[in-house]
């Protein structure tokens, strides 16, 4: 079974530039998550989708970050404009359904972003 796919794997940009990340979840997984993981910290949830609807985006800096999940499958996360503190690994994860017995999250390899 194919895992969660993400691209690009690495990205270096200058501050104030824009960047976009792409995620393809495991087939059939209704829930998709975007996390930001800063070095030395745990993943922080940015946004959670259930199919193509947003379940939680309370920690998404909406002045610069946006995300969409068209047709309830692939998702993109965009940062515009980027700041130095956005340097982190952006992890995408998916799960079958946020029910009690199916909450295992499967993570993609992540996109390492460096903002100079």
Partner 1 sequence: RKEVEQDPGPFNVPEGATVAFNCTYSNSASQSFFWYRQDCRKEPKLLMSVYSSGNEDGRFTAQLNRASQYISLLIRDSKLSDSATYLCVVNTNAGKSTFGDGTTLTVKP
Q: Which is nearer to partner 1, 72 or 81 (CB)?
A: 72
Q: Please report, as ranges, the residues that interact with partner 1 according to CB under 8 A.
A: 31, 33, 35, 40-45, 48, 50, 55-56, 91, 98, 100, 103-105, 107-110
Nearest-approach distance from CB 5 to partner 1, in angstroms: 12
Residue 63 φ/ψ region, left for φ over 0, alpha for ψ in the -120 to 50 degree band, beta for the rest: alpha
Pull the structure tokens for residue 102.
């199916």
Nearest-approach distance from CB 35 to partner 1, in angstroms: 8
Nearest-approach distance from CB 23 to partner 1, in angstroms: 12
Q: Which is nearer to partner 1, 9 or 16 (CB)?
A: 9
Nearest-approach distance from CB 2 to partner 1, in angstroms: 15
CA distance 109 to 74: 15
> For residue 12, what is the enclosing H or E element?
strand 10-13
The Cβ of residue 15 has, within 10 Å, a number of other Cβ atoms equal to 13
CA distance 45 to 96: 17
């Amino acid at each position: 079974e194919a895992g969660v796919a993400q691209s690009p794997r690495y990205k270096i940009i200058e501050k104030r530039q824009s960047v976009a990340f792409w995620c393809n979840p495991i087939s059939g997984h209704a829930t998709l998550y975007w996390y930001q993981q800063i070095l030395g910290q745990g993943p922080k949830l940015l946004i959670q989708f259930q199919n193509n609807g947003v379940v939680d985006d309370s920690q998404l800096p909406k002045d610069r970050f946006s995300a969409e999940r068209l047709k309830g499958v692939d998702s993109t996360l965009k940062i515009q404009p980027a700041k130095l503190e956005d340097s982190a690994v952006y992890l995408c994860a998916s799960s079958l359904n946020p029910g009690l017995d199916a909450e295992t999250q499967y993570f993609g390899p992540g996109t390492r972003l460096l903002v100079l």
